[in-house]
Amino acid sequence: MSEHVLVKHVTKFVDQPVTLKGWVYNIRKSGKIWFLILRDGTQFIQCVVLNTEVSEAVFEMKNTLTQESSIIVKGVVQAAPRQELGYELLAKDIEIIQIAEPYPISLKDHGVEFLLDNRHLWLRSRKPFAVLKIRSEIEKACRDFFEERDFTLVDSPMFTPNAAEGTTTLFETDYFGRKAYLTQSGQLYSEAAIMAFNRTYCFGPVFRAEKSKTRRHLTEFWMIEPEMAFFDIYDNMKLAEEFVTYLVKRALKKCRAELAILERDISKLEKVEAPFPRITYDEAAEILKKKGVEFTWGDDFGAPQETAVSEDFDKPVMIWRWPAETKAFYMKRDPEDDRYVLGVDVIAPEGHGEIIGGSQREDNLELLLQRIKHENLPENVFQWFLDIRRYGSVPHSGFGLGLERTVGWICGTHHVRETIPWPRTMVRLEP
Ligand code: 4AD
Ligand code: MG
């Protein structure tokens, strides 16, 4: 009896019999020998099938096995320096679980819309496999970073009466006769939580009815949001650059094989090291002016502006001190000039756009109330949020990192929809 082993562990079983269970990825035939690439969801391995080593019935399976047929292969692990794993399997026996129907995704190139329509199958291909493996590692690194630094995980609700990030991208839903929204950000709840736990983070899906069809926008995406009591904007920026550096280093350490599948130029990632360059909004505006990029002072940056500014740097760049009118109501006014707020955006290199938005928060009750009125937000549902400023208000800050954009940058993908298992955009609800 040989043991059922995951392909990623075969290296521990050299010259030993093992049982592998998985799916046929590809078959290559040449006379008295054929090769089967088996994948089991942990790795791919080449299985060598020789007519002298298997029964005739098994040898003839080369004509019946189809792509994605599910099988059990028994054999002996042997060193094969030219193979990706450094090992291959000399097959002794194959048992068929199911012969797959003709598989729609062949190994040739397909259009991306076709692949997205078949996302439930496309997940099995090499590139999505590598991207989602990296996503999984980055999610783990996000938690590790904050767990190592005295933060408490305090989850925020998905249903809320509060608009945190403007009223134009709200998904509204009927909540037993009352109006509720799907959350755009957990931040407001985290601001309450830090008064109980000092430093917190929340990590989950957030929802925005984005009508833009860009390669950076999803309607459902994941955000990790740390919030810290007694942090000013400088402390906040320092933590943000440390965090981004930590994530990139983790990918370089743990995801080499996946980055190789994606043919990612890792020399670009190796340059990512805190501190990051910091420029003010006005300095960024100067860069745009020099480059002749169209833009009006006071406007938020879109993709063309972000990309033009980030081109000048080979690390992520932090743009801070924004005009108050471009940013959310909760950002603290710059004490030196109240036309500005103490907000910061972190822009990734290579055109991947804003990966972090953050700020020092307005901690003054009167000013915050004024801002809520100015934005025409319903005061009554913000009373609980104002309480945070009534009972022991302290300076505090936080930020949100968009998981998909960060993974997209690390992987070098073209569109953020490739970095989430089941992408949701304005035009895509299925599968
Ligand atoms: O800049 P945003 O809107 O900031 C907030 O929501 C703050 N409340 C966060 C905080 O301070 N706790 O969003 C944060 C990040 C962006 O920098 C971007 O990376 C990502 O979330 N993001 C999106 N990612 C994919 N699709 C979208 N539609 C996104 N909108 C924002
Ligand atoms: Mg933002």
Q: Distances from the Cα of 191 to the Cαs of 164, 228, 381, 383, 389, in angstroms?
A: 12, 8, 15, 13, 10
CA of 242 from ligand 1 middle (Å) equals 18
Q: What is the mean pLDDT of residues 156-179?
A: 96
Instruction: Say which CATH topology domain 3-98 has.
Output: OB fold (Dihydrolipoamide Acetyltransferase, E2P) (2.40.50)
Residue 208, H or E segment: none
What confidence tens digit (pLDDT) does each residue in 88-144 have?
A: 999 999 999 999 999 999 988 899 999 999 999 999 999 999 999 999 999 999 999
CB 47 within 8 A of CB 89: yes
DSSP sequence for 210-275: -----TT--SEEEEEEEEEET--HHHHHHHHHHHHHHHHHHHHHH-HHHHHHTT--HHHHHT--SS
pLDDT on residue 84: 81
Cβ < 6 A, ligand 1 pocket = 164-165, 185, 187, 208, 210, 217-218, 221, 223, 225, 354-358, 398-400, 402, 404-405, 416
How far apart CA 41 and CA 128 sit, in angstroms, is 12
Q: Which ligand has the nearest atom to the CA of 210?
A: 1
Scanning the structure block, which residue is given the tokens 């109006």? 179
What is the position in ligand 1's atom list of the atom closest to the CA of 357? 1
323 CB-near residues (< 8 Å, 6+ apart): 281, 297, 298, 339, 340, 341
What confidence tens digit (pLDDT) does each residue in 196-218 have?
A: 999 999 999 999 999 988 899 99
CB 338 within 8 A of CB 324: yes
Partnered with residue 280 across adjacent β-strands are 320
How far apart CA 188 and CA 384 sit, in angstroms, is 10
How far apart CA 291 and CA 349 sit, in angstroms, is 17
Residue of 184, 185, 188 best suited for mutating to test ligand 1, as the one with most atoms within 8 Å of CB:
185
What is the domain partition of the chain in residue ranges? Answer: 3-98, 119-419
pLDDT on residue 162: 96
CA of 282 from ligand 1 middle (Å) equals 22
pLDDT on residue 55: 98
Q: Is 2.60.40.10 the CATH number for 119-419? A: no
